[in-house]
Amino acid sequence: MRDLGFRTLDLRSGGRAEDQATWRSLCSRAAGLEGEADTAARAIIAEVRARGDAAVCEFTSRFEKRTLVPEQFEISREARAEACARVSPDLRAALTTAAHGIRVFHETQVRGDSGLEIEDVSLYSRVAPLRRVAVYAPGGTAAYPSSVLMAGIPAKVAGVPEVILVTPRAPDVVLLAAEIAGVDRVLQIGGAQAIAALALGTATVPRVDKIVGPGNAYVTAAKRQVFGLCAIDGIAGPSEIVVVADAAADPELVAADLIAQAEHDVLACAILITDSEALVPLVSAALARQLGDLPRAEIASQALREHGAAVLVEDVAAMVAAVNAYAPEHVELLLADAEAVAREVTTAGAIFVGPFTPEAAGDYTAGPSHVLPTAGAARFASPLGVWDFVKHTSVLRLGRAALTAQGPAIARLARAEGLEGHARAAELRLRETT
């Protein structure tokens, strides 16, 4: 049985001061915004701005060892159809099942115009879809067709006319997911150079209104730097889960859910919060057993060792406080009164309630998008949804009586701010209406 080095932090009264300090450090984590990736992304963006497609081709050759010319950026409809036909019927059925749940859920998020009309005043917010968005899908150690569904379907439900999938390497299953999601075009470019091309536009790559989807540190750094040229969904950090469990929880389930997150990559964070000291060694033993035949055991083991922890607290109230302080991407509640506790959790990307709601269901078939805030951003950010693919425009109409009523206040406030032109623009209309 392997020794994981899965650390325990005792936050109970009388616990070690260093454990409290370690926990505060974990809670204050943030997605890296500086360093090598940030510097490299800035240089790549500058090159794409200056040289367009040629820079994209050069960086693709340098970083991915792929020779690509602009005419090969887009995967043709025919090639996509051939790839889709190669996917097994069982896998196609699973993707279709997942897509149905995602689509049905996100259709509940569609909202129309809102506002009010009072006498001769009409004020409302007009809702319209973005014109063109890009969904980025990583091409690293694992393929994520589910992420294509989780981002592409909400965009199409929102009514986006053109959704572009951008991925450096597109396995057949990812192309099938794109087809099922309703993606319009697929570009086989990636990295910071792809983000720059999408934000700036090149002769071959169309400029988009928004870029969504996770990527590596260089992709994340590039997304942050192009914000303002286009919108982004957020700054993605490593995947993370907090499992909250009491003494009655099944240690095998706790371990399985921690591993399910830890196997993503070596930077993934998997944390157990419990008021049961006896549960911790049982979970550690279950982790060791389950890792024994896991294909990605080395990745999961490193993640658990370096970024995982069992956190001991005194009671349920302390569990809730710890979750809200950490603000996890995912929180799973394996508790006697999970539904009541769920109402108290206010800072989490997604909450999974009870023993029959594994985080894996949220990753694939349940419905809500699994593109979630990470690195503590759940304090202020939301899951990806239909709202990410629309914009609101304020439409105002005042009649003569309304402007007459508001005019004096407009003029006084404008002059208080030193903006005489604003005041005169209102007063001129008032003089003309008398």
Give the annotated binding-site residues for Zn(2+).
Answer: 261, 264, 363, 422
Q: Is there a contact between 104 and 110 (Cβ–Cβ < 8 Å)?
A: no
Phi, psi of 318 (to 5 degrees): -70, -35
- Name beta bridge partners: 212: 135
Q: How far, in Å, CA of 301 to CA of 139, rounded?
A: 22
Q: How far, in Å, CA of 148 to CA of 99, rounded?
A: 10
Query: Helix or strand or coil: residue 405?
Result: helix
For the four alpha carbons of 349, 369, 100 and 155, in that order, the dihedral sign comes to positive
Non-local (6+) Cβ contacts of 145 within 8 A are: 95, 171, 173, 174, 176, 177
The catalytic residue among 330, 332, 359, 370 is 330
User: Known binding site for substrate: residues?
Assistant: 239, 261, 264, 330, 363, 417, 422
Q: How far, in Å, CA of 22 to CA of 91, rounded?
A: 43
User: Known binding site: residues?
Assistant: 136, 193, 216, 239, 261, 264, 330, 363, 417, 422
Question: Residue 330 catalytic?
Answer: yes
The catalytic residue among 240, 263, 329, 332 is 329
- Name beta bridge partners: 9: 311
Question: Residue 298 catalytic?
Answer: no
Q: How far, in Å, CA of 388 to CA of 371, rounded?
A: 11
- In 3D, which of 271, 277, 266, 150 has the Cα closest to residue 214? 150
DSSP secondary-structure letter at 315? S
- Structure tokens that stand for 46 in this block: 């500058």
For residue 14, the number of C-alpha atoms closer than 13 Å in the C-beta half-sphere is 1
Q: Is there a contact between 41 and 192 (Cβ–Cβ < 8 Å)?
A: yes
Non-local (6+) Cβ contacts of 206 within 8 A are: 132, 162, 164, 198
Tell me the residue type at 415: R
* Catalytic residue numbers, as ranges: 329-330
